[in-house]
Amino acid sequence: MPYDFPIRKIIHIDMDAFYASVEQLDHPELRGKPLAVGGGSKRGVVAAASYEARKFGVRSAMSGALAKKMCPELIFVKPRFERYKELSLKIRSIFFEYTELVEPLSLDEAYLDVTRNKVGNPSATLIAKEIRDRIYTELGLKASAGISINKFIAKVASDINKPDGQKTVNPEEVVPFLEKLDIRKFYGVGKVTAEKMYQFGIFTGLDLKGKSLEFLEEHFGKSGMFYYQVVRGIHQSEVKSHRIPKSLGAERTFSENLSSEVFMKERLTHIAAELSKRIDKSDTAGKTITLKIKYSDFTMQTRSKTLPYYVSDRELILDTSMELLYQQPLDNSVRLLGISLSNLKGAETSQKQDHSVSVQLKFEL
């Protein structure tokens, strides 16, 4: 039977341990050694870890002190975001040689729609392999890729054969692939949600598929529809090469500067609550959460994360904001914090329909 919704040829490219790999690229003496980008002091935070360090359990957002305890031989280096951005732009320029439909999620990952592409190659699988080979040949960095009929499955697939690998999920493989998948592997199901699903006997995609839409909406709110659809291979979000910068936000300036992330959680909780009220009043949802930080010397910094689905839930916005806060060490004491939600539902301009196609199951990626 044919799909009754448009399916596309989507590639998700995810750089392998990007920040750490860049440091090992630029400093050969660090290659093959456990490396953390970030601070190793008591207040330091790991922004990224090499695969050598991950073998010891070192992960991003972990405190530097704990990381050092888990891996005594761990080497810390300061982040160089200008260098990461420089290489990210070079990687992106490679993407644009294959398609104009490129949607970056961060410096180290992006979606590409190659349903129709500039090189005339009908195989998204071969395009992904060629892009990965070029990134390594031209820049010395390794990437993994996921290829499938929509963004959600491509994102999940890119993690299957990491590092330096790729996974293609063809149309006829989508449902069996999702049914066997551990629920923790579903992009958008965080630790707290996974624990909640366990309580309802949901451990795999097949378990999730067995729950009705009414059940999922009752217990997971607005995310219920998302879970109901994606486990059936339905995710119609298009690759957006341009976004309208319309957003909702809330922020707070403090009477005394804050010097530790620990003291900021309570403030972010109140800010997220205020933003949630504005979101409810506007009856909208968004995909991109941005944390705004103004330091005591009045310099400004923003950190963003784009989710594969629309969110409006206060707790999810707060959890993501905290993740962004611990993404890298603070540059100074902080006088202002803000959270904004952008990439809002209804604010995106739709792309032309001819970028997607309705096809039979024999459609090959």
Active site residues: 109
Q: What are phi and psi of 171, to 5 degrees?
A: -50, -45
Reading the block at residue 259, the tokens are 């010097």
Mind giving me the DSSP string for 196-208?
Answer: HHHHTT--BHHHH
Measured CA to CA, the distance from residue 132 to residue 165 in angstroms comes to 9
Mind giving me the DSSP string for 265-307?
Answer: HHHHHHHHHHHHHHHHHHT--EEEEEEEEEETTS-EEEEEEEE
Reading the block at residue 54, the tokens are 């991950």
Provide Rg for the chain, Cα atoms: 21
Under the phi-then-psi rule, with left for phi > 0, alpha for psi from -120 to 50, and beta for the rest, what region is 123? Answer: beta
Mind giving me the DSSP string for 29-69?
Answer: GGTTS-EEEE--STT-BEEEE-HHHHTTT--TT-BHHHHHH
